[in-house]
Structure 1
Amino acid sequence: MANTFFITGTDTEVGKTFVTRALMQAGKEAGKQVLGYKPVASGCELINGELKNEDALALQAESSIKLPYAMHNPYAFAPAIAPHIAAEQAAEPIEPARITEGLARLKETTADWIFVEGAGGWRLPLGQGRFLSDWVKKEHIPVILVVGARLGCINHALLTLEAIRHDGLVVAGWVLNRADAHMSHYEENAATLKALIKAPFLGELPRLTEEEISTAVSYIDPAPLLK
């Protein structure tokens, strides 16, 4: 049975996909077969008659096992808006049971590690009073937190960790990603985060371009995930 990890962030646009890809690369270097799963995505384009999301396509490309796109991303919505609003507009409610079924199909493969990338932050609404974090809690999936290094990130990181642990979930690790290349006093903020966050530290990514994503693995230490 594959080990599964859920990747969340301190906010939207903090580099969850970059970090997920780096973790997948690190897993492959450690001899693991990896799969990426993006249960819910908005901001999708119609490609060959199918709505597809850029981030989900990146996870599909990084995966060790070649599977149809829909297995990586069961809910894809065209507008680049909050998924629960996009789902309401499309008259396609987001059902946690369908997300669970999709994950179960991935677990039937030969994958060793499955990385499930969330959308937005920890409390992502799915509609009908439900949150994606409720699903993670129900599935008992260990969480990896991506901290986007920018003004306010210390508060966001600590509150997110508090919420994850309040939900009774294990924090498998965290990654610091330099979301703002011009963040003032970056080193001091990074040191504060490392001192305050009581969870395995998996790595610190500099500001990378898409062309440099292949180097991201060199900044990741997957050892805590191998235990």
Structure 2
Amino acid sequence: MTREPFLPREPLHLPPPRRWFVTGTDTGVGKTLVSSAMLALLAASGLRAVGMKPVAAGLDAIDDEWRNEDVERLQAAGNVDAPLTWRCPYVLKAPMSPHLAAREEGVQVELPVLLDAFERLSAQADAVVVEGVGGFCVPLGDDLDTADLAVALDLPVILVVGLRLGCLNHALLTAEAIRARGLVLAGWVASVVDPQMLSPEGNLQTLRARLGAPLLGVVPHLEAPEAARAAEHIDLRALRASAAHAARRGEVALSVSAAAA
């Protein structure tokens, strides 16, 4: 299940805009680990890379301060020093669905705030990795979810598939939901969350045949979920093809819009 590690010693030559939205088949499948590994690879190739967690729910005591672990790990993996209000505009206390945590605190997650923070980060970096919350359609408010955010950002999506029983259905339904929103599934990463899973290779072969997007890597179950170790199992070069596809999709949409006008 391992693949040849790709540790860049030169620029990845990924065409701009180098912006991605990372989602998962569920919560706890390794989105932050994969997002951090991507940032480590991008930074190592000489790009200014920054991670964004638009909404984070759950605070932990880190260095005698209350912080969100996911936000901290993304910041540590990148190489751009940006304010927390850009990297994570909404940091909520309770470790629960963001719309419920926000309701408890009397907070309303607003899409314009998230988009403004993303634009500010984009102006400071060559590459931005936006990590969603839980799965693809997690509610952020009464009339806003993470799928809405991905559409508003209009970013190619990278899907993290947690390899465990049930992952085939979860992955295929998520891919269907991503495409139903008009978004490009740029690639996917398999994350071994259950090392005792039966027939992992068979599940990988099924997903390779059915997801219709390049496999960027298989991250094994790591005792210490470190970005650098996960990065050894991820190859971002396959994103070149999906970037070209996204560019062609944009050109077609532009020509259709012009014709309609």
Query: What TM-score does the superposition give when structure 1 sets the normalisation length?
Result: 0.93
Instruction: Give the counterpart letter for 2:139 in structure 1.
Output: P
Give distance in 2, aligned partners of 1:141 and 1:166: 14
Give distance in 2, aligned partners of 1:90 and 1:212: 32
Identity of aligned residues (%): 42
1:122: which partner in 2?
136
1:18: which partner in 2?
33
Which of residues 123, 146, 161 is equivalent to 2:160?
146
> 1:90-109, aligned counterparts within 5 Å?
90-109=105-124
1:204: which partner in 2?
218
Instruction: Give the counterpart letter for 1:140 in structure 2.
Output: D
2:10: which partner in 1?
none
Q: How far 1:139 sits from its partner (Å)?
A: 2.0
Instruction: Give the counterpart letter for 1:8 in structure 2.
Output: T
1:70-93 Cα deviation digits (max 9, x unpaired): 321110111111110000010011
Cα pair 1:2 1:114 within 8 Å, conserved: no
Instruction: Give the counterpart letter for 1:55 in structure 2.
Output: D
Q: Does 1:32 align with 2:47?
A: yes
> 1:1-227, aligned counterparts within 5 Å?
2-45=17-60, 52-109=67-124, 111-210=125-224, 212-226=226-240, 227=243
Q: How far 1:15 sits from its partner (Å)?
A: 0.3
Structure 1: runs of 5 or more not aligned: none
Structure 2: runs of 5 or more not aligned: 1-15, 244-261
Instruction: Give the counterpart letter for 1:31 in structure 2.
Output: G
1:146-201 Cα deviation digits (max 9, x unpaired): 00000000000000000000000011110001011111121211121112121021
* Structure 1 ranges of 4+ moved more than 3 A: 45-51
SS at match of 1:210: coil
Q: Once superposed, what is the RMSD of the aligned Cα atoms? A: 1.8
Give distance in 2, aligned partners of 1:132 and 1:213: 24
Q: How far 1:68 sits from its partner (Å)?
A: 2.6
The structure with the greater share of residues assigned to strand is 1
Q: How far 1:49 sits from its partner (Å)?
A: 9.8
SS at match of 2:132: strand
Query: What TM-score does the superposition give when structure 2 sets the normalisation length?
Result: 0.82
- 138-147 vs 49-58, which deviates more? 49-58
Aligned residues: 226
Instruction: Give the counterpart letter for 1:173 in structure 2.
Output: G
